[in-house]
Amino acid sequence: MMSYARTLLPAAALLAACNPQSGAVAQDSGAQDGRPFSVTEVAEFVSPWAMTFLPDGRMLITEKAGAMLLVSPDGKTRAAVSGIPAVSSAGQGALMDVVLHPEFARNHWVYFSYSEARADGLKGVVLARGTLSDSSSPSLQNVETLFRADPYVEGNGHFSGRILFAPDGHLFFTNGDRQKFTPAQDPKATLGKVLRLNEDGTAAKGNPLAAKGFHPAAWTYGNRNLLGIAFDPKGNLWEVEMGPKGGDEVNLIKPGVNYGWPNASNGSHYDGKDIPDHAPGDGYQAPKIWWNPSISPGDLIVYSGKAFPEWRGDILIAALSGKALIRIELNGTDANKADQWDMGARIREVEQGPDGAVWLLEDGRKGRLLKLMPKR
């Protein structure tokens, strides 16, 4: 996901480990008619989850089972980054998001999230950071746990784990409801909430719900499975989350607000039981956009590059079950569906490259890294 932490900065030398199975393969064909971009296959990974760009154009890419890879811009070379803690990757568990600290040039901090299992079998999502040692055998050193979801629970779903640095230096971290429903409304739990932290993982001062008895890190509540979060150029904070059977949402995130889950949703339970739709006066913030049937959003960015000037300031969403890249037009605090381009595969991640190209990660054991550029 794109964040303020991903501003390009000076970087270290190129890596040397070779991967003969990867390399750029153009995918421009007649099947792309109607799409305003060409698609180039750059590399292939085993269930990739997230990516971020280093200052020299290389990428850090996470894979579900627990690998973090340092990859050259052309995808031809890669090296495993050592120092990653043990990951519980069953179900929706994974080594998840990865972002750079805004002052990466000075401190070399890499922030990442992952799901872990305790000795008692209960599981939760973790926010961690380490110092990137950049060499032919890269590693994360001095890895420290900054925050753990509370409480840990049984099951393998809805960890969320997206990370975003705000312009003021605070850090937003998403905690899913873990498919337990009621914790999203529980003031003491961090589950089903957007959290606002300091860079060291402590709760930020001034969080609006603390005075109401909530966990001090809580920024919003009543959320479900929050898989994308980004600021627009005007400072509005946008979030995308998976609904139940239908009801996937794009939300304008406002401090202290209740987004309704599980008491209100524009979808239904998987067994067909109804959930009350969002309605005026119900006490919950309705989404700006929703989908029924589901698209299963996996990520969200607000585009700001030069390659697609007509998209600047708009949201791009990676869709899993929807197998699409989706564009949402923003007009202040209003949002409208614009385009939905069929990508023919489940899309887990969308990212903006240093040249304004749009990069996608496909979901699955042969998930491709794709680069999108305007058709000429």
DSSP, residue by residue, 106-169: HH-EEEEEEEEE-TTS-EEEEEEEEEEE-SSS-EEEEEEEEEE-SS-BSSS---EEEEEE-TTS
The continuous run of DSSP H or E covering 104 comes out as helix 104-107
CA-CA distance, 160 to 88, in Å (whole number)?
A: 14
Q: Give, for 4, the enclosing helix (H) or strand (E).
A: none
Q: Point out the residues that are catalytic.
A: 158
> DSSP state, 66?
S
Buried/exposed code over 192-225 (b: 16+ C-beta within 10 A; e: otherwise): bbbbbbebebebbeebebbeeebbbbbbbbbbbb
- What would you measure as the largest C-alpha separation in the chain, in angstroms? 59
Both tokens assigned to 196: 């606002």
The amino acid at 270: Y
- Contacts of residue 363, defined as CB under 8 A and 6 or more positions apart, other chains included, come to 47, 48, 298, 320, 345, 346, 347, 348
Burial code (b: 16+ CB inside 10 Å, e: under 16) for 336-370 equals: eeeebbebebbbbbbbbbeebbbbbbbbbeebbbb
* Dist. CA 138–CA 13, nearest whole Å: 11
Contact criterion met (CB below 8 Å) for 336 and 328: yes
Report the relative pairing of strands 123-133 and 139-148 from DSSP bridges.
antiparallel
Distance of CA 303 to the CA centre of its chain: 14
Q: Where on the phi/psi map is residue 137: left (φ > 0), alpha (ψ -120 to 50), or beta?
A: beta
User: Where do we find the tokens 């792309």?
Assistant: 32
